[in-house]
Amino acid sequence: MPINIPAITSTFSCIRNPSTLVPDAIYESFATISKDLSRVLSDKYKQQINIKAIVLDKDNCISISKQLDIYHKNLSKLNELKAQYGDRNVVVFSNSIGSQLEDKTGIDAREFERRNKIPVIRHTQQKPGGYREALTTLLEQTDARHPKELAIIGDRLLTDIKFANNMGAWGIWLSHGITRKYQWGNMFDRWIYRTFLKNRKPLAAVEKSV
């Protein structure tokens, strides 16, 4: 597996600037998230928040790592989100499929789109890097016109949530993801959360405003 340099840099940044890793909302798994994230975030941050597009991580979020199907317990939630936001506004942004580094030819991204009828964003850098390129693409390919109209959902603080905060979007953290088996990355993130982040305000409460 190629080394994700931005994720390593992100690990050190939690010491320098831990706020960039603080999620705006936390759920255990994709199946347990609210489909009405605008209302959840608006209530939490006491401001009008209008989510127009949902950006989903793939591995351990909607699919089991290395598999190209949606995990069966996630299908109904995915359909609820598509009904709520529209098919073009629920997209996948993954460090595996659609990534120039791990899916050079895009064959996995095309197969995932064919099987699951969900757009996969193509990109050249791994999360949390490349957020400017990602934002440009997301604003072109979805109905969102501003980063604050994007909710980014993923199971890793150091990639998904850092990426969301860098972009100025809302970061929704899945603290366990699909599997409850031991996953070192997720266990490490939960330790980071408990040790450095739990008592910090999300950037939403500090500098994101609509």
Q: Does 57 bind Mg ion (CB under 5 A)?
A: yes
Q: Which stretch binds Mg ion (CB under 5 A): 20-28, 49-57, 68-76, 99-107?
A: 49-57
Give the shortest CB-59-to-Mg ion separation in angstroms. 4
193-200 — which CB contacts under 8 Å span 24+ positions? 193/157, 196/14, 196/15, 196/18, 196/21, 197/14, 197/18, 197/21, 197/22, 197/157, 200/18, 200/19, 200/22
**Which sign, positive or negative, has the C-alpha torsion 10, 13, 15, 21?**
negative
Contact map string, positions 153 to 172, toward Mg ion, x by CB under 5 A: --x-----------------
In the complex with Mg ion, the residue whose CB is nearer, 45 or 57, is 57
What is residue 173's three-state secondary structure? Answer: strand
Q: Does 103 bind Mg ion (CB under 5 A)?
A: no
Q: Contact 166/139 with Cβ under 8 angstroms?
A: no
Distance CA 193, CA 173 (A): 11
Q: Which stretch binds Mg ion (CB under 5 A): 26-34, 51-59, 96-104, 137-145?
A: 51-59
- Which one of 24, 59, 103, 189 is in contact with Mg ion (CB under 5 A)? 59
Q: Does 189 bind Mg ion (CB under 5 A)?
A: no
Q: Does 108 bind Mg ion (CB under 5 A)?
A: no
Residues at the interface with Mg ion (CB under 5 A): 57, 59-60, 155
